[in-house]
Structure 1
Amino acid sequence: MRAYYFDNLPGDQHLPHDCVPSQPVPADTLAALNVRSWKIPVNGHEDAINAIAKEQGYKSRDTVNVSREGLGDAYEQRMQGFYHEHMHEDEEVRYVLKGSGFFDIREAPTDAWIRLAVEPGDLLVVPAGIYHRFTLDQADRINMLRLFQDEPKWIPHHRSAETDANVHRIGYLRSIGVDAQHV
């Protein structure tokens, strides 16, 4: 997984949006934001994924094909929803089987976007309460294994004053040492 600061320039969300020169984000910055990742080769990944799932308490899983074929008539609407800034009350755990895409996360307290370019073999854990979004890259397809602590669910809470006060958002900010009143 490659992590770098998003350039915030207008344009196609499927483009890399890397600053010139690039501004890589160090692993310790991601760790300070409670973003976790592993690189696990796709061939033979089952044992490693099962071990992580057991260790982290992920009890269920499914796969999702995010592409025009996989989403059908809902493609445009779903892509807009994925790219709308939001948070979840649960961790978002994704393992890339095929394809590639971008997860953008908000750095706190700076509010800068960090772009995470994911490809096959990347396992990413986006913590509950962090603002983020997702988009495909120009290849326009990704197949991911999704891991869940309980039953599969994906409930986005779009960024607003209400989500700023959400108990999971406040808990996330506290977990990274940020005072929610100053964000």
Structure 2
Amino acid sequence: MRAFYFDNLQGDQRLLHDSGRSVSDEVLKSIGVLHWHIPTDQQSQIDAVAEERNYKNRDVITITKEGLGDLYETKLKGFYEEHMHEDEEIRYILEGSGFFDVRDHPTDSWIRVHLEAGDLLVLPAGIYHRFTLDEKNVIKAMRLFKDEPKWIPYNRDGATDANPYRIDYMKTLTVN
């Protein structure tokens, strides 16, 4: 896993877009973003994290152009819309690679996190973020859930700014 500030230049969202400014683990932790690197042959460590964080369910999602066919570009654009969830978003990369972009605080700048096989990322409920593949155009990820599997994005607007989960998330930032 490598994190850096997004360069905000126009162009394909799957490109690196590295501004040259690295982001430390401390900055990520300060906005509630956690990560581990767990080799994909060490499933028991994923089980331990799941138990510690009370994740009861999981599934596996594969995103490829071949797999999504005509829906590929539409799905990729949808994942890249800035949004939040009312639950933590937990992804463990099994194969391939991609980017999660998260909003820094208080600047609201994008931080780009590049994930590869073995990376586990936890985004807190209420954080604005987006996802895209990188130029390899393939990712296979395990999604972990505290309850029944669900993935409901709330695109950023005035209503999401007033969402109780967003408000609670923002309160954690003022405490830190």
TM-score normalized by the length of structure 2? 0.97
Identity percentage of aligned residues: 57
> Which of 151, 155, 163 matches 1:154?
151
Shift of 1:162: 0.5
Aligned AA for 2:98? G
Matched, 1:48 2:45: yes
Shift of 1:7: 0.3
1 CA distance for matches of 2:53 and 2:164? 22
Q: Which runs of 5+ in 1 are unaligned?
A: 179-183
Shift of 1:73: 3.0
| Matching residue of 1:132 | 129
1 CA distance for matches of 2:157 and 2:142? 29
TM-score normalized by the length of structure 1? 0.93
Backbone CA RMSD of aligned residues: 0.9
Shift of 1:110: 0.6
Q: Which runs of 5+ in 2 are unaligned?
A: none
Work out the number of aligned pairs and report it.
Answer: 175
2 CA distance for matches of 1:33 and 1:68? 32
| Matching residue of 2:31 | 33
1 CA distance for matches of 2:84 and 2:67? 24
Matched, 1:91 2:88: yes
Contact 1:4 1:116 in 2 (8 A): yes
Matched, 1:168 2:165: yes
Q: Which runs of 4+ in 1 moved over 4 A?
A: none
Contact 1:65 1:71 in 2 (8 A): no
Aligned AA for 2:15? L
